[in-house]
Amino acid sequence: MKSVLDLLQSIAATPALLVALIALLGLVLQHKSAGDTIKGTVKTFVGFLVLTAGAGVVQQALAPFGAMFQQAFGVRGIVPNNEAIVAVALKQYGVATAWIMLLGMVVNILIARFTRFKHIFLTGHHTLYMACMFAVIMAVAGFHSFWQILVGALALGAIMSLSPWILQPFMRTMTGSDDVGLGHFGGGGYWLAGAIGHLVGRKGDKKPTSTEEIKFPKGMAFLRDSTVAIALTMIVLYVIVALFAGPHFVASKYPDAGNYIIYAITLGGTFAAGVFIILAGVRLILAEIVPAFKGISERLVPNAIPALDCPIVFPFAPNAVLIGFLTSFVGGLVSMPIMALTKLPIVLPGVVPHFFCGATAGVFGNSRGGWKGAVLGAFVQGIAISFLPIALMPVLGSLGFADTTFSDFDFITMGIYYGLLGRLGQVGVIIGLVVMYAVIVAGSVVLSRRAKKAVAEGAPTGSGSTGATSVGAH
């Protein structure tokens, strides 16, 4: 039994395989030919591997940047890291995490099947991390064995449905349809960035200037190529940080680096290469998963929307990716002296979360507010993911994880929400769950009435499943 559970967990935690299997199911349900089915499945699988490889290249390039930055400017503190805290927690809560993850995915599908919240969350590693956090919190609240797994799975299924749903109005603006959603547990931060962009974009009648429409002087027109702009910007940043860190530190920390300036230049170029690989993988995935998913949408879960990892939005505004990363990181830097002055724990800006979350926030801010929305939205998101972990730390500290914390918006907010309610015992957590599902039920009722009214008035409803917040009515 354990071997079967381990196999299912491994499949669910491997995005490339999970999404490829989803594509396979969709193509089979559409009665596609064997050749088309094999081609679509393999290209989806390879596309996700390309995306994952690109993300790995970016992370490998960012690791030395973070180390050199801390050395250069003498900053010390807590670096939020999802992987670190999950690795520790899995040693004690591994079995419960696996069951919560698998059953949470089932709950997510059931919600998509029977309510107006139609997203199927397909980012396996984030599902694993959230399941692990819920396993720990439910155990501390007094749930054990069956009840720990059941309550944790219900909590997981709810956030897997709600997080992509609040982002869909912005996704619709970017893509022009409801064919794809965003499945990444930084959703609250991306919604915040999009809302700020929406407010910025509403000023005046003129359409806001997108990051992709920024006009450069004739002699700098080459910067319109996002790969060139990212490479040059990151090379400059890496060289500056390397100069401040000094050759002795670089040589001792990275003995195979060679000349420290050449090493910095290479890392900047490597970062740009990683982003280029990510964009190539995303384009390959979108070309296959959207048509394949129609089989599931038509046969199993009407109007289902695949919710994919955050790099899925990068091709819609590549310049906003760089702007969002930089301004989110600046938000983290600005937060540090405020923490010091107010005697709060110092949370260092982790370059990995500020890249993936900041870049995504930049794209969301740009979707409604142009380059101003990208800058302001990502900056505020960067401040949010700097201060919110401080509020989570007391909850995690009581769980025995005082020296680390989660880094992404939804992990933090859900951890605070259920962690604080868990201090009231099982009743507190149950109340929290009831509230979450009341939102889903009430939201479904409102969205159904809206759809019926639109039909009665003869207005197009699209999928009719994702609805829109007041911010989404663009």
Task: Tell me the percentage of the chain whose pLDDT exceeds 70.
Answer: 91
Alpha-carbon distance 174 to 149, whole Å?
A: 37
Alpha-carbon distance 405 to 348, whole Å?
A: 11
Least trusted range by pLDDT, from 79-93, 168-182, 405-419: 79-93
Residue for token digits 């491997």? 14
Largest Cα–Cα separation, the chain: 73
Which is higher by pLDDT, 432 or 287?
432
**What is the structure's pLDDT at 204?**
63
pLDDT tens per residue, range 49-69? 898 888 889 888 888 988 888
**What is the structure's pLDDT at 222?**
64
- pTM equals 0.83
What is the DSSP track for 281-330? Answer: HHHHHHHHHHHHHHHHHHHTSTT-EEEE-GGGGGGG-HHHHHHHHHHHHH
**317 conformational bin, left if phi > 0, alpha if psi -120 to 50, beta if neither:** beta
Q: Which residues pair with 306 in a beta bridge?
A: 120
Q: Which residues pair with 182 in a beta bridge?
A: 308
Q: Which residues contact 445 (CB under 8 A, 6 or more apart)?
A: none
**What is the structure's pLDDT at 469?**
42
**What is the structure's pLDDT at 220?**
66
**What is the structure's pLDDT at 462?**
47
pLDDT tens per residue, range 202-243? 766 678 889 888 876 767 666 667 788 788 888 998 999 999
Q: Which residues of 22-54 are buried (b: 16+ CB within 10 A; e: fewer)?
A: bbbbbbebbebeeeebeebbebbbbbbbbbbeb
Q: Roughly how many angstroms between the first and final C-alpha of the chain, as a whole number?
A: 51
Alpha-carbon distance 95 to 89, whole Å?
A: 11
**What is the structure's pLDDT at 474?**
36
pLDDT tens per residue, range 369-413? 999 999 999 999 999 999 998 888 777 665 555 566 788 999 999
Alpha-carbon distance 306 to 290, whole Å?
A: 8
Whole-angstrom CA distances from 159 to 104, 172, 194, 258, 418 are 10, 20, 19, 47, 12
Alpha-carbon distance 109 to 99, whole Å?
A: 16
pLDDT tens per residue, range 331-370? 999 999 999 899 888 888 888 889 899 999 999 999 999 9
- Using alpha carbons, select from 388, 350, 443, 356 the residue that is nearest to residue 158: 443
Alpha-carbon distance 171 to 69, whole Å?
A: 34
pLDDT tens per residue, range 453-469? 877 776 555 444 444 44
- The answer to whether 2 touches 90, Cβ cutoff 8 Å, is no
Alpha-carbon distance 202 to 194, whole Å?
A: 12
pLDDT tens per residue, range 408-440? 999 999 999 998 998 888 999 999 999 999 999
Least trusted range by pLDDT, from 77-91, 122-136, 174-188: 77-91
**What is the structure's pLDDT at 281?**
85
